Amino acid sequence: MTKSKAQGPLAGLKVVEFAGIGPAPMCAMLLADLGADVLRVDRLQDAGLGIDRRPEFDLLNRGRRSAAIDLKQKDGVAAALRLVARADVLIEGFRPGVMERMGLGPEVCLAKNPGLVYGRMTGWGQTGPLAQAAGHDLNYIALIGALHAIGGKEKPVPPLNLVGDFGGGALYLAFGICAALYERQRSGKGQVIDAAMTDGAASLAALFYGLFAQGIWRDQRAANILDGAAPFYDTYETKDGKFVAIAPIETKFYAEFLAKLGIDPASLPKQNDAKRWPETKARLAAAIKAKTRDEWCRILEGSDACFAPVLSLAEAPKHPHNAARGTFVEVAGVVQPGPAPRFDRTPGAVQGPPPAPGANTAEGLADWGFSEAEIAALKTAGVAA
């Protein structure tokens, strides 16, 4: 990717990303998709070693360039600080204290660049008793109550890593970065963002904490209107062993759903009679099992019955709605989700495929103010690759 190709509402924003895994790279991907010039600083050890990593499939790294710099050498740290001095935003996802030990902590970076927005992504946060403990998405959403509410009666079920890593992590860091940039327009000052996945996932669960406090959400799985207990908010198996998602919560939508199933509402218990939900669910399951998923699509799709087929990763990009909107795109032969959200005047775009570590060191450093001689010297000294 070259800087001139960038498009989107964030075109012109300069972001330096210190390579990590999970939510921090996704946050950088979101910014890059909307036009930000993101330079990813990868480890020197990962560059040019012939590792079979297939970087083109590491979609969270798409849309930016990679410079491999050895941050264990003082000249590497000095080079990184030059990038920081020209950046609007810094993104890092290490445990608390790692950046400080490398000489790249907030105090040093903000001294170089007082307007810098310094984004920190962790699971537990920069402070607290667990701040230095290892963890992953499942641990973070367990601690804040979300995991307890997800799954069947038997046990909690991991909801992929969508709730902690990406919903509570990457999206909240991206939101925080945009908020800090907006505030910088008034103050002229940057600031540090402590984005913890525990905090973000807890924020995502605000609705349910409100319902629980009100006494209308039971603190157990498969016992509430939105967790699979209600017959009108669940998935059902079809005749061909596939599944459909049914969600007609509102009375008028539920009536339309039953009409299209050919079920007389008078023959069922009242919609919100929770004690008889199992009875209603059995009736609906039997009716839905009588036809294939495609048959139900022809009957229900596009209506107000609140219906959708449960599509696989292979099927979803081919669905007519997704195809019409261009929800999925193909870049360098890889089908992947396109940028979101959408803008009418300054649309975003996948700015390019994910680079291999160090693939753009010379180009990236040059665009960020390094001369050819300086780049050559860094490479000769083994500081950059």
Residue 45 has a pLDDT of 80
Residue 83 has a pLDDT of 98
Q: Is 165 a catalytic residue?
A: yes
Give the 3-state secondary structure of residue 309: strand
56 pLDDT higher than 90: no
Residue 55 has a pLDDT of 85
Residue 46 has a pLDDT of 77
Residue ranges and CATH numbers for the domains of the chain are 3-204+328-380 (3.40.50.10540), 243-309 (3.30.1540.10)
Q: Which residues pair with 121 in a beta bridge?
A: 195
Residue 4 has a pLDDT of 54
pTM for this model (two decimals): 0.95
pLDDT tens digit string along 81-122?
999 999 999 999 999 999 999 999 999 999 999 999 999 999
DSSP 356: P
Which of 165, 199, 227, 234 is the catalytic position?
165
Residue 5 has a pLDDT of 67
In the chain, pLDDT over 90 holds for what percent of residues? 94
Q: How far from chain centre, in Å, is Cα 159?
A: 13
138 burial (CB, 10 Å; 0-12 / 13-18 / 19+) is middle
In this prediction, residues 66-79 reach a mean pLDDT of 97
pLDDT tens digit string along 163-184?
999 999 999 999 999 999 999 9
pLDDT tens digit string along 45-54?
877 554 456 7
Provide DSSP, 34-98: TT-EEEEEEEGGGSSS-----GGG-GGGTTSEEEEE-TTSHHHHHHHHHHHHH-SEEEE-SPTTH
Residue 141 has a pLDDT of 98
Q: How far is residue 129 from each of residues 56, 126, 164, 291, 343, measured CA to CA in Å?
A: 38, 10, 19, 54, 42
In this prediction, residues 360-365 reach a mean pLDDT of 97
Q: What is the chain's alpha carbon radius of gyration, rounded to the nearest angstrom?
A: 25
* Residue 136 near residue 163 (C-beta atoms within 8 A): no
Confidence of residue 320 (pLDDT cuts 50, 70, 90): very high
User: Helices (DSSP H) in the chain: which residue ranges?
Assistant: 23-33, 74-86, 98-102, 106-112, 137-143, 171-187, 197-204, 206-214, 251-261, 277-288, 293-300, 320-325, 361-367, 372-380
Which of 136, 148, 194, 367 is the catalytic position?
136
Please tell me the chain's helix, strand, coil percentages from 3-state DSSP, rounded to the nearest 5.
Answer: 40, 15, 45
241 pLDDT higher than 60: yes
In this prediction, residues 262-290 reach a mean pLDDT of 97
Q: Is 136 a catalytic residue?
A: yes
